[in-house]
Structure 1
Amino acid sequence: MQAGTPAGAEKSPAHQEEGGHKDNEHHGEEKGSEHKDAAEHGEGEHHDAEPSSEEGKIALNPEQIATAGIEVKTAGPMILNSSVQLPGEIRFNEDRTAHVVPQVAGIVESVSAKLGQKVRKGQVLAVINSSAVSEQRSEMLNAEQRLALARTAYQREKQLWEQKISAEQDYLQAQAALREAEVAVRNAQQKLRAIGATASSGGLNRYEIRAPFDGVVVEKHLGLGEAVKEDANAFLISDLSSVWAEIIVSPKDMQFVRTGEKVTVRATAFDASASGKISYVGSLIGEQSRTAKAHVILPNPDDSWRPGLFVNVEVVSDEAQVPVAVSAEALQTVEEKSVIFVRVPGGFAAQQVVTGRSNGKFVEIRSGLNAGDEYAATGSFAIKAELGKGSAEHSH
């Protein structure tokens, strides 16, 4: 409204003159003289504004600088790491996660493992009654009995042959029968071992599902009295002492994400971070998502990195020595250009700059600023606000 008031004040006498003079020619002369006066008035205004402030310079005394919280620093050389921020999610370490299946069909007799329970390698998770296991154990018991008989027969024939009572042929036949019985027992043992069953554990048909390694019961799909198949997904066990931070990588960022590259993983929901290295980068780009996947193995001693947690992954690439760098907070955008407010006698001046690499805290200045120049590192927004006020006054 203030900007509009002087214009209104200038127009009203002109309108009065228009109403007072009916002669068109005379009115034209009057209008022309009005334009002339306005032009002279405008020149006078411009002339008055010129000495008050230079273009882009903001006059601030030390007290104003201190009040605005402006901190002056000196631009100089610095070693900068290029970094890129990528979205990610905590996942189970698939190298330490297993779907536990019964391996035999049967009826669930008992389930001792609870969801979320920590289990040790070899711990019994559930017990199944299985006729298949019963048959295998019976076969092994029969093989062991035949082996015992064959061994007795062999010992007897050996003694008779040594005493020259019986023929060598009988001794050799007993020896062959013993070898066959030993093979039969070994085969029966291997069949039981293949399905994870022991020779005897309380009953011929009793089959125990055991934990393959130390971990946590993440999923449980067994119920008491339930009939299960040999390939049923009974439990999901995961060792949560380490997890994967899975990174979603777009094609433009593939150049930064390489195996062995250092990264910092930060949780989005709370204040937590961890360092690691990229251990895997997928070579395939998803048909639907058009992104690739990579992952970082993170130690998880206190279980703070829970699967499903969203994270930001900062990938730090090459290090480089830059001749001039400034605080990232110092950069401001004025008329769509990057500027730094440089310290000059009596205040600051807006200096247009060209930026380069950044690590998030500091930015390389490729041109527009020299090493040793003093600049407003913090509180530069306050100077920008003063610059805005000055330009608004100048336009009046």
Structure 2
Amino acid sequence: MKPTTMTMAALTVGVLALVPITGATGNAETPLPMTAAAAVAPQDDDHAGEAADAHGDDDHADEAKEAHGDDDHAGEAKDAHGDDDHAGETEGAHGDEGGGDVVKLALEVAKEAGILLEQAELGALGESLSLPAEIRFDADRMANVTPKVSGVIDRLLVGEGDTVAYGDTLALITSRELAGLKAKWKISKTNEALAAQSLARLEGLWAQKITSEVNVQTARAEHESAKTESEAAETELHAVGIDHAGLEKIATAPDGNNANAYLTAPLAGTIVRRAATLGETVTAGDSSAKVLFTIVDDSVIWADIAVYKQDISRVRVGAPVALKSDAGDVIAQSTVAFVLPVIDEVSRTATARVIIDNSDRTLTPGQFVIADLSVGNAAEVLRVPQSAVQLVENRPSVFVPVDGGFAPRAVMVGTTAGGYVEIRSGLEEDDLFVSDGAFTLKAQLEKDAFGDGHGH
């Protein structure tokens, strides 16, 4: 019987299965028995054995397991997304105050830096009205210094721009007039003393009935006359600036010193004008007397606001006023002190005067500014100074004290007038906030954020 093709194929596979497998060392190993499944596998598929190795005893099976099981990057990924250093930073830095960072600053240091705290409170706030204003010297803090006696300027001790205190010597004038007044006073004091002695002697004689009453009365009249002349001479010296301490020094003054007249500062301030020249002859006591020095104290100044006639009825005494630069920056804040009850014939405006504390010298007399007034019917609202509100991360915010420093707190603002801003939410009455120095804190916050790589 002729074998079939299927029988021949099975025999061929069986013979091949009995061939010994030689290892890498050349030693024969025990023949591997074939399974029925292997016997019926297609005989000409070259990849059959390769597939078995790949999925049977393949060394990469364990390697793959390690790669996806004990892979070192698995823990690394967990750390990267679980214990990320920035995770805690984000939570702490943008905590409870409007998502902003804390500016680390002790309260004592903040106070020295000019950062002031106030409690939020209710205040009147009306409509905003912007008017032109001019900065002027306070007339009560300005002095023109003229000589009190005629003479020759012998020494000049100050110049323009110098700061002087009350009573400081400005110039020395050699005055024959003053020397004559002092001599007259000395003579009158001597005559008074002699008249007093004569009266005392005659009163003693009258008591003993040795002299007449007429002589005593005459002595009394002479004494009163001498006393009156002495008092008049003393008054003249007081009028030219000689006080009681100076009177006591007249009798013991060195030769020539009684002609020295010292021109002194009547108030503390700055010399803004000096018209005196060394060796110049000056006169006193009439309208031709020359102003030698002009002293001003610009620690307090006036802002005169030009109020148009249609707005006069809207401006009230005590209304908040903010003085602003042309760029809109708030320079100073105060209230309307009074409104003059006259209208200028040329400009047709009235004057509303504001008294400004200018101790930091930010305003200069002669400067023109914009006055932002709160006018009309004012309502009681929670308000803060306009400079206290700063944009932090594009949100209006005020800085509030927190543990270790200051943090921005987002607020909702309303009406702005007279240098104040209405706070509708985000801040409550009596809450502490930074009323002065908020811009400094914002600048420091942005500086710290830039250094940390966070944007604000």
The aligned residue for residue 137 of structure 1 is 182
Secondary structure of the 1:85 match is strand
**Mapping of 1:1-396 within 5 angstroms?**
81-198=126-243, 199=247, 200=250, 203-230=257-284, 231-268=289-326, 271-319=329-377, 359=417
Distance 2:156 2:277 in 1: 7
C-alpha distance in 1 between matches for 2:261 and 2:164? 18
Matches of 2:330 and 2:279 in 1, distance apart?
44
Residues 269, 310 of structure 1: 8 Å contact kept: no
Distance 1:130 1:270 in 2: 55
2:316 corresponds to which letter in structure 1? R
Length, aligned pairs only:
251
How many angstroms apart in 2 are the aligned matches of 1:268 and 1:219?
29
Distance 2:141 2:276 in 1: 22
User: For 1:90, what is the secondary structure of its paired residue?
Assistant: strand
* Farther off after superposition, 215-224 or 284-293: 284-293
Amino acid at match of 1:102: P
Aligned counterparts of 1:314 and 1:270: Cα–Cα separation in 2: 10
Contact between 1:84 and 1:256, CA under 8 Å: does it hold in 2?
A: no
8 Å CA contact 1:256, 1:315 repeated in 2: no
Q: Which whole-Å deviations, capped at 9, do the CAs of 1:299-330 have from their partners, x for residues lacking one?
A: 122222222232211111234569xxxxxxxx
- Please report how far the alpha carbon of residue 271 of structure 1 lies from its aligned counterpart in structure 2 after TM superposition: 4.4
Q: Which structure's relative contact order is higher, taking Cα pairs within 8 Å and 6+ residues apart?
A: 1
Report the Cα offset of residue 258 of structure 1.
3.4
Partner of 2:108: none
Residues 299, 359 of structure 1: alpha-carbon distance in 2 compared, 3 angstrom cutoff? closer
- Superposed CA offset, 1:80-115 (max 9, x none): 621211111221111111111113322111111222
CA drift of 1:163 comes to 3.1
Counterpart CA distance in 2 for 1:295 and 1:119 is 28
User: Cα offset for 1:238?
Assistant: 1.5
Q: CA deviation at 1:196?
A: 2.2
Contact 2:331 2:362 in 1 (8 A): no
Please report how far the alpha carbon of residue 268 of structure 1 lies from its aligned counterpart in structure 2 after TM superposition.
3.9
The CA deviation string for residues 5-60 of structure 1, in whole angstroms up to 9 with x for no partner, is: xxxxxxxxxxxxxxxxxxxxxxxxxxxxxxxxxxxxxxxxxxxxxxxxxxxxxxxx
Query: Higher strand share goes to which structure?
Result: 1
Contact persistence 1:222–1:234 (CA under 8 A): yes
Question: Over residues 219-274 of structure 1, what are the superposed CA-to-partner deviations in whole Å (9 max), with x where a residue is unaligned?
Answer: 11111111223221111112222111121222222223333332122244794532
- Inter-partner Cα distance in structure 2 for 1:134 and 1:270: 60
Give the conservation status (yes or no) of the 8 Å contact 1:105–1:227: yes
Judged with a 3 Å threshold, the aligned counterparts in structure 2 of structure 1 residues 184 and 87 are, in CA distance, closer, same or farther, namely same
Q: What is aligned with 2:27?
A: none
Q: Structure 1 residues 167, 206: closer, same or farther in 2, change over 3 A?
A: same
Q: SS at 1:287's partner residue?
A: coil
Query: Aligned partners of 2:142 and 2:293: how far apart in 1?
Result: 11
Unaligned runs of at least 5 residues, structure 1: 1-78, 323-356, 364-396
Alpha-carbon contact 2:316-2:375 (below 8 Å) kept: no
Percent of aligned pairs with the same amino acid:
33
Q: Which residue is equivalent to 2:427?
A: none
How much has 1:359 moved relative to structure 2? 4.6
Question: How much is the aligned-residue C-alpha RMSD, in angstroms?
Answer: 2.9
Matched residue, 2:86: none
Q: Would the alpha carbon gap of residues 235 and 269 (structure 1) be closer, same or farther in structure 2, given more than 3 Å must change?
A: farther
Q: Are residues 359 and 240 of structure 1, via their aligned partners in 2, closer, same or farther at CA, if it must alter by over 3 Å?
A: closer
Verify the 8 A CA contact 1:147 1:182 in the aligned structure 2: yes
TM-score (norm 1): 0.57
The CA deviation at 1:151 is 1.7
Q: TM-score, normalised by structure 2?
A: 0.50
* Helix, strand or coil at the partner of 2:257: coil
Per-residue CA deviations over 1:61-90 (Å, capped at 9, x if unaligned) read xxxxxxxxxxxxxxxxxx962121111122
